[in-house]
């Protein structure tokens, strides 16, 4: 795992919804918007699965995600990639369900998707576009 620098965390915090990309075991890509995405520490992001369908199937086959964020104020953009754990019970799941249900009790909070950050790339246009940061 790697530690996300402050500017990466700031860009993630400002972005909503966040595009979350997955792929099946054959490599077929899928991307969804996610509103319930938060940073829990320098190396970890939580995502709430309320409505994941192809996304959940993909994560079952291939537990990796990529997100992209753009901070228009700071003119910075990052791609963040990592591996995930899916939790449907226990204290982490309970925290995520509480977060979701604070917004709406009607949301299903099917699972907590815990993303362990492994790679961060610069995605801002310009000469460093695509270069790995950490």
- Of the pair 5, 60, the CB lying nearest ligand FMN is at 60
CB of 104 to ligand FMN, least distance (A): 11
Classify 22 as helix, strand or coil.
strand
Q: Is 33 in the site for ligand FMN (CB under 6 A)?
A: yes
| Cα dihedral across residues 26, 32, 36, 39: positive or negative | positive
User: Is residue 32 part of the contact set for ligand FMN (CB under 6 A)?
Assistant: yes
The token pair that represents 104 in the structure block: 């709406």
Strand partners of residue 25: none
β-sheet with 37-41: strand ranges across: 29-34, 18-23, 64-71, 76-87, 111-122, 44-49, 37-41
Which of 35/60 has CB closer to ligand FMN? 35
Q: What is the DSSP string of 36-84?
A: -EEEEETTEEEEEESS-SHHHHHHHH--EEEEEEEETTTTEEEEEEEEE
Minimum CB–partner distance for residue 34 and ligand FMN (Å): 4
Q: Which is nearer to ligand FMN, 9 or 46 (CB)?
A: 46
Q: Which of 55, 66, 77, 122 binds ligand FMN (CB under 6 A)?
A: 55
93 lies in the binding site for ligand FMN (CB under 6 A): no
Closest CB to ligand FMN among 58 and 122? 58
* Chain residues in the site for ligand FMN (CB under 6 A): 17, 30, 32-36, 48-55
């Amino acid at each position: 795992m790697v530690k996300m620098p402050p500017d990466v965390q700031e860009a993630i915090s400002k972005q909503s919804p966040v595009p979350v990309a997955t792929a099946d075991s054959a490599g077929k890509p899928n991307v969804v918007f996610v509103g319930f995405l938060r940073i829990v520490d320098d190396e970890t992001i939580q995502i709430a699965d309320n409505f994941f369908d192809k996304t959940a199937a993909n994560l079952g086959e291939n537990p990796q995600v990529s997100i992209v964020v753009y901070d228009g104020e700071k003119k910075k953009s990052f791609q963040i990639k990592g591996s995930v754990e899916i939790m449907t019970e226990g204290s982490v799941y309970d925290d995520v369900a509480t977060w979701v249900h604070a917004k709406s009790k009607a949301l299903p909070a099917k699972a907590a998707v815990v993303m362990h950050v492994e790679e961060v790339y610069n995605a801002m246009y310009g000469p460093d576009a695509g270069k790995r940061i950490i």
